[in-house]
Chains A and B, each alone.
Chain A
Amino acid sequence: MTPSVIEFKISSEDRRVAWLATAAVGLSLVDAAIPSPLPGVKPGLANIVTLIVLIRYGWTTAAWVSGLRVLAGSLLLGYFLAPGFFLSLAGTVCSLATLGLVRHLPGRWFGPVSLSIFAAFAHIGGQLLLARVWLIPHDGVFLLTPVFSAAALVFGTINGVIATKLLTDLPPHPELPSRA
Protein backbone atom coordinates (compact mmCIF):
# COMPACT_ATOMS: atom_id res chain seq x y z
CA MET A 1 0.00 0.00 0.00
CA THR A 2 1.47 3.28 -1.00
CA PRO A 3 1.09 6.26 1.30
CA SER A 4 -0.96 8.99 -0.22
CA VAL A 5 1.07 11.67 -1.92
CA ILE A 6 0.20 15.31 -1.66
CA GLU A 7 1.19 17.07 -4.80
CA PHE A 8 1.59 20.82 -5.04
CA LYS A 9 0.98 22.29 -8.43
CA ILE A 10 3.55 24.99 -9.05
CA SER A 11 2.19 27.62 -11.36
CA SER A 12 4.26 30.09 -13.34
CA GLU A 13 2.94 32.73 -10.96
CA ASP A 14 4.52 30.85 -8.03
CA ARG A 15 7.85 30.70 -9.87
CA ARG A 16 7.69 34.40 -10.61
CA VAL A 17 6.97 35.28 -6.98
CA ALA A 18 9.81 33.04 -5.81
CA TRP A 19 12.34 34.59 -8.19
CA LEU A 20 11.36 38.13 -7.39
CA ALA A 21 11.30 37.45 -3.64
CA THR A 22 14.81 36.02 -3.95
CA ALA A 23 15.97 39.24 -5.56
CA ALA A 24 14.30 41.24 -2.78
CA VAL A 25 15.87 39.09 -0.05
CA GLY A 26 19.28 39.56 -1.69
CA LEU A 27 18.82 43.32 -1.61
CA SER A 28 17.73 43.25 2.06
CA LEU A 29 20.99 41.47 2.86
CA VAL A 30 22.89 44.21 1.03
CA ASP A 31 20.83 46.72 2.99
CA ALA A 32 21.78 45.15 6.30
CA ALA A 33 25.47 45.25 5.36
CA ILE A 34 25.43 49.02 4.81
CA PRO A 35 26.44 50.75 8.04
CA SER A 36 23.91 53.25 9.30
CA PRO A 37 24.38 56.18 11.67
CA LEU A 38 21.05 55.56 13.37
CA PRO A 39 19.13 52.29 13.75
CA GLY A 40 16.12 52.49 11.48
CA VAL A 41 17.71 54.68 8.83
CA LYS A 42 18.27 52.26 5.97
CA PRO A 43 18.19 52.68 2.20
CA GLY A 44 15.50 50.01 1.84
CA LEU A 45 16.87 48.76 -1.47
CA ALA A 46 14.47 45.80 -1.48
CA ASN A 47 11.66 48.27 -2.08
CA ILE A 48 13.02 48.75 -5.60
CA VAL A 49 11.91 45.18 -6.29
CA THR A 50 8.52 45.80 -4.67
CA LEU A 51 7.98 48.85 -6.90
CA ILE A 52 8.95 47.06 -10.10
CA VAL A 53 6.76 44.09 -9.21
CA LEU A 54 3.85 46.38 -8.35
CA ILE A 55 4.04 48.15 -11.67
CA ARG A 56 4.69 45.08 -13.81
CA TYR A 57 2.72 42.32 -12.12
CA GLY A 58 0.17 44.06 -9.90
CA TRP A 59 -0.47 44.57 -6.21
CA THR A 60 -1.10 40.94 -5.19
CA THR A 61 2.25 39.77 -6.51
CA ALA A 62 3.96 42.75 -4.86
CA ALA A 63 2.33 41.83 -1.53
CA TRP A 64 3.56 38.22 -1.84
CA VAL A 65 7.06 39.31 -2.75
CA SER A 66 7.42 41.76 0.13
CA GLY A 67 5.79 39.40 2.63
CA LEU A 68 8.20 36.63 1.69
CA ARG A 69 11.07 39.11 1.74
CA VAL A 70 10.30 40.14 5.34
CA LEU A 71 9.98 36.49 6.41
CA ALA A 72 13.05 35.12 4.61
CA GLY A 73 15.15 38.23 5.26
CA SER A 74 14.49 38.04 9.01
CA LEU A 75 15.31 34.31 9.06
CA LEU A 76 18.60 34.89 7.24
CA LEU A 77 19.61 37.86 9.37
CA GLY A 78 18.48 36.16 12.58
CA TYR A 79 15.80 38.53 13.85
CA PHE A 80 12.72 36.43 13.07
CA LEU A 81 10.00 37.17 15.71
CA ALA A 82 12.32 39.67 17.42
CA PRO A 83 11.06 43.28 17.78
CA GLY A 84 12.84 44.23 14.56
CA PHE A 85 10.78 41.65 12.68
CA PHE A 86 7.50 43.18 13.82
CA LEU A 87 8.74 46.69 13.05
CA SER A 88 9.72 45.52 9.59
CA LEU A 89 6.35 43.82 9.14
CA ALA A 90 4.42 46.90 10.32
CA GLY A 91 6.35 49.11 7.90
CA THR A 92 5.78 46.71 5.01
CA VAL A 93 2.05 46.35 5.71
CA CYS A 94 1.62 50.13 5.87
CA SER A 95 3.61 50.77 2.72
CA LEU A 96 1.75 48.04 0.80
CA ALA A 97 -1.59 49.50 1.88
CA THR A 98 -0.45 52.95 0.78
CA LEU A 99 0.86 51.60 -2.54
CA GLY A 100 -2.55 49.96 -3.07
CA LEU A 101 -4.10 53.42 -2.89
CA VAL A 102 -1.54 55.61 -4.66
CA ARG A 103 -0.98 53.29 -7.61
CA HIS A 104 -4.28 54.60 -8.95
CA LEU A 105 -2.72 58.06 -9.38
CA PRO A 106 -2.67 59.07 -13.06
CA GLY A 107 0.46 57.48 -14.57
CA ARG A 108 0.94 60.33 -16.99
CA TRP A 109 1.90 62.66 -14.15
CA PHE A 110 3.09 60.42 -11.37
CA GLY A 111 5.86 57.88 -11.94
CA PRO A 112 7.42 55.23 -9.70
CA VAL A 113 9.29 57.99 -7.83
CA SER A 114 6.01 59.27 -6.38
CA LEU A 115 4.94 55.76 -5.40
CA SER A 116 8.33 55.16 -3.80
CA ILE A 117 8.17 58.33 -1.70
CA PHE A 118 4.65 57.52 -0.51
CA ALA A 119 5.72 53.98 0.36
CA ALA A 120 8.80 55.20 2.24
CA PHE A 121 6.77 57.64 4.35
CA ALA A 122 4.14 54.98 5.07
CA HIS A 123 6.89 52.52 6.02
CA ILE A 124 8.45 54.82 8.58
CA GLY A 125 5.01 55.92 9.81
CA GLY A 126 3.96 52.34 10.46
CA GLN A 127 7.18 51.58 12.27
CA LEU A 128 7.00 54.66 14.47
CA LEU A 129 3.38 53.94 15.40
CA LEU A 130 4.15 50.34 16.34
CA ALA A 131 7.21 51.48 18.31
CA ARG A 132 5.10 54.07 20.16
CA VAL A 133 2.26 51.64 20.92
CA TRP A 134 4.32 48.61 21.80
CA LEU A 135 8.06 49.08 22.33
CA ILE A 136 8.47 52.57 23.81
CA PRO A 137 5.13 53.80 25.18
CA HIS A 138 6.29 57.39 25.45
CA ASP A 139 5.95 60.26 22.99
CA GLY A 140 9.75 60.53 23.04
CA VAL A 141 9.93 58.17 20.04
CA PHE A 142 8.38 60.87 17.90
CA LEU A 143 11.45 63.04 18.48
CA LEU A 144 13.09 60.94 15.78
CA THR A 145 10.33 61.68 13.26
CA PRO A 146 12.15 64.55 11.48
CA VAL A 147 15.28 62.44 10.94
CA PHE A 148 13.33 59.41 9.79
CA SER A 149 11.09 61.38 7.46
CA ALA A 150 14.09 63.15 5.90
CA ALA A 151 15.70 59.74 5.30
CA ALA A 152 12.42 58.45 3.86
CA LEU A 153 12.29 61.33 1.40
CA VAL A 154 15.91 60.95 0.27
CA PHE A 155 15.96 57.15 -0.01
CA GLY A 156 12.41 57.03 -1.38
CA THR A 157 13.43 59.36 -4.20
CA ILE A 158 16.65 57.46 -4.97
CA ASN A 159 14.92 54.06 -4.95
CA GLY A 160 12.14 55.44 -7.13
CA VAL A 161 14.63 56.74 -9.69
CA ILE A 162 16.45 53.38 -9.73
CA ALA A 163 13.13 51.55 -10.18
CA THR A 164 12.14 53.87 -13.06
CA LYS A 165 15.51 53.32 -14.72
CA LEU A 166 15.23 49.54 -14.39
CA LEU A 167 11.64 49.54 -15.66
CA THR A 168 12.61 51.46 -18.79
CA ASP A 169 15.88 49.58 -19.46
CA LEU A 170 14.96 46.00 -18.62
CA PRO A 171 12.50 44.09 -20.73
CA PRO A 172 10.40 41.61 -18.71
CA HIS A 173 12.42 38.47 -18.01
CA PRO A 174 11.58 35.67 -20.52
CA GLU A 175 10.90 33.23 -17.67
CA LEU A 176 8.86 35.78 -15.78
CA PRO A 177 6.52 37.09 -18.46
CA SER A 178 4.53 40.16 -17.62
CA ARG A 179 0.85 39.60 -17.06
CA ALA A 180 -0.05 42.70 -19.01
Chain B
Amino acid sequence: MPWLALLKPGDWLIIGLGALLVGLSFPLFWQGGLGERAIVRQNGQIVANLDLRSKRQLSVPGPLGSTLIAIEPGRARVVADPGPRQYCVRQGWLMRPGEIAICAPNRVSLQISGRTKVYDSLSY
Protein backbone atom coordinates (compact mmCIF):
# COMPACT_ATOMS: atom_id res chain seq x y z
CA MET B 1 0.00 0.00 0.00
CA PRO B 2 1.66 3.23 -1.09
CA TRP B 3 -0.60 5.27 1.20
CA LEU B 4 0.48 3.49 4.33
CA ALA B 5 4.11 4.43 3.63
CA LEU B 6 3.13 8.07 4.16
CA LEU B 7 2.49 7.45 7.84
CA LYS B 8 5.31 7.81 10.35
CA PRO B 9 5.56 5.73 13.56
CA GLY B 10 4.36 8.66 15.67
CA ASP B 11 1.35 9.05 13.42
CA TRP B 12 0.30 5.49 14.20
CA LEU B 13 0.71 6.30 17.89
CA ILE B 14 -1.53 9.36 17.57
CA ILE B 15 -4.13 7.41 15.56
CA GLY B 16 -4.11 4.71 18.25
CA LEU B 17 -4.44 7.22 21.08
CA GLY B 18 -7.20 9.03 19.20
CA ALA B 19 -9.10 5.78 18.66
CA LEU B 20 -8.74 4.98 22.36
CA LEU B 21 -10.06 8.41 23.28
CA VAL B 22 -13.02 8.03 20.92
CA GLY B 23 -13.72 4.55 22.29
CA LEU B 24 -13.65 5.82 25.85
CA SER B 25 -15.87 8.79 25.05
CA PHE B 26 -18.84 6.59 24.09
CA PRO B 27 -19.50 5.04 27.53
CA LEU B 28 -18.47 8.30 29.23
CA PHE B 29 -20.96 10.51 27.42
CA TRP B 30 -23.70 8.04 26.61
CA GLN B 31 -24.21 6.21 29.87
CA GLY B 32 -27.81 6.85 30.73
CA GLY B 33 -27.78 10.18 28.98
CA LEU B 34 -28.34 13.39 30.84
CA GLY B 35 -30.80 14.23 33.57
CA GLU B 36 -33.98 15.68 32.19
CA ARG B 37 -36.45 15.76 35.08
CA ALA B 38 -36.32 16.06 38.84
CA ILE B 39 -38.78 13.94 40.81
CA VAL B 40 -39.53 15.13 44.33
CA ARG B 41 -41.21 12.70 46.73
CA GLN B 42 -42.70 13.28 50.16
CA ASN B 43 -43.55 10.22 52.22
CA GLY B 44 -43.19 8.10 49.07
CA GLN B 45 -45.69 10.16 47.08
CA ILE B 46 -44.53 12.21 44.10
CA VAL B 47 -45.21 15.86 44.93
CA ALA B 48 -43.39 17.42 41.99
CA ASN B 49 -42.00 16.29 38.64
CA LEU B 50 -40.03 19.21 37.25
CA ASP B 51 -38.22 19.84 34.00
CA LEU B 52 -34.49 20.44 34.44
CA ARG B 53 -34.45 23.25 31.93
CA SER B 54 -35.49 26.22 33.96
CA LYS B 55 -34.26 27.67 37.20
CA ARG B 56 -36.58 27.51 40.18
CA GLN B 57 -36.86 26.75 43.89
CA LEU B 58 -39.30 24.53 45.68
CA SER B 59 -40.21 24.07 49.32
CA VAL B 60 -41.55 20.69 50.41
CA PRO B 61 -43.25 20.42 53.82
CA GLY B 62 -42.51 17.35 55.98
CA PRO B 63 -42.91 16.23 59.60
CA LEU B 64 -39.85 18.22 60.75
CA GLY B 65 -40.31 21.36 58.70
CA SER B 66 -39.74 22.27 55.08
CA THR B 67 -37.03 20.99 52.73
CA LEU B 68 -35.79 23.51 50.18
CA ILE B 69 -34.94 22.19 46.70
CA ALA B 70 -33.23 24.15 43.92
CA ILE B 71 -33.54 23.31 40.22
CA GLU B 72 -31.10 24.71 37.66
CA PRO B 73 -30.59 23.91 33.99
CA GLY B 74 -29.34 20.30 33.94
CA ARG B 75 -29.03 19.83 37.71
CA ALA B 76 -30.85 19.92 41.03
CA ARG B 77 -29.99 19.81 44.72
CA VAL B 78 -31.35 20.01 48.24
CA VAL B 79 -30.45 23.46 49.55
CA ALA B 80 -31.73 23.17 53.11
CA ASP B 81 -33.31 20.47 55.23
CA PRO B 82 -34.35 20.35 58.90
CA GLY B 83 -32.82 16.86 59.35
CA PRO B 84 -30.05 16.49 61.97
CA ARG B 85 -27.29 15.00 59.80
CA GLN B 86 -27.76 16.92 56.54
CA TYR B 87 -26.73 14.00 54.32
CA CYS B 88 -28.97 15.03 51.44
CA VAL B 89 -27.76 18.64 51.56
CA ARG B 90 -24.12 17.60 51.56
CA GLN B 91 -24.62 15.45 48.47
CA GLY B 92 -24.57 18.64 46.43
CA TRP B 93 -25.69 18.91 42.83
CA LEU B 94 -27.30 15.88 41.17
CA MET B 95 -27.16 15.72 37.39
CA ARG B 96 -27.01 12.12 36.16
CA PRO B 97 -30.18 10.02 35.75
CA GLY B 98 -30.68 7.75 38.74
CA GLU B 99 -28.92 10.00 41.22
CA ILE B 100 -30.94 10.56 44.36
CA ALA B 101 -30.70 12.60 47.56
CA ILE B 102 -32.77 11.27 50.43
CA CYS B 103 -33.65 13.42 53.42
CA ALA B 104 -34.93 10.51 55.52
CA PRO B 105 -35.89 12.36 58.72
CA ASN B 106 -38.14 14.71 56.80
CA ARG B 107 -39.26 11.92 54.44
CA VAL B 108 -38.33 13.88 51.30
CA SER B 109 -36.34 12.59 48.34
CA LEU B 110 -35.06 14.23 45.17
CA GLN B 111 -34.31 12.01 42.19
CA ILE B 112 -33.04 12.77 38.69
CA SER B 113 -34.53 10.92 35.76
CA GLY B 114 -33.47 10.87 32.14
CA ARG B 115 -34.82 9.62 28.85
CA THR B 116 -33.62 6.11 29.57
CA LYS B 117 -34.16 4.31 32.84
CA VAL B 118 -30.94 3.30 34.57
CA TYR B 119 -30.63 0.57 37.14
CA ASP B 120 -29.21 0.97 40.63
CA SER B 121 -27.81 -2.54 40.51
CA LEU B 122 -28.11 -5.74 38.52
CA SER B 123 -27.73 -9.30 39.73
CA TYR B 124 -27.77 -12.56 37.84
Contacts and interface: CB of A to CB of B under 8 A. Distances in A.
B11 A111 contact: yes
Q: Which of B9, B28, B29 has the most CB of A within 10 A?
A: B29
Nearest to A167: B6
B124 interface: no
A113 B22 contact: no
Interface residues of B, number: 24
Given A113-B11, A161-B3, A164-B6, A146 B30 contact: yes
Q: Which of B6, B10, B14 has the most CB of A within 10 A?
A: B14
B6 A161 contact: yes
B6 A121 contact: no
Interface of B is mostly: helix
Nearest to A109: B10
Interface string A117-138: 1100100000000000000011
A153 interface: yes
Which bucket holds chain A's interface residue count?
Answer: 20 to 34
B15 interface: yes
Nearest to B36: A140
B65 interface: no
Nearest to B2: A165
A138 B74 contact: yes
Contacts of A149: 18, 21-22, 25
B34 interface: yes
Contacts of A175: none
B69 interface: no
Contacts of B7: 111, 113, 161, 164
B10 to A, nearest CB: 4
Interface of B: 3, 6-11, 14-15, 18-19, 21-22, 25-26, 28-30, 33-34, 53, 73-74, 95
7 contacts: A105-B10, A108-B8, A109-B8, A113-B6, A143-B30, A156-B18, A168-B6
Interface of A: 105-106, 108-111, 113-114, 117-118, 121, 137-140, 142-143, 145-146, 149-150, 152-153, 156-157, 160-161, 164-165, 168
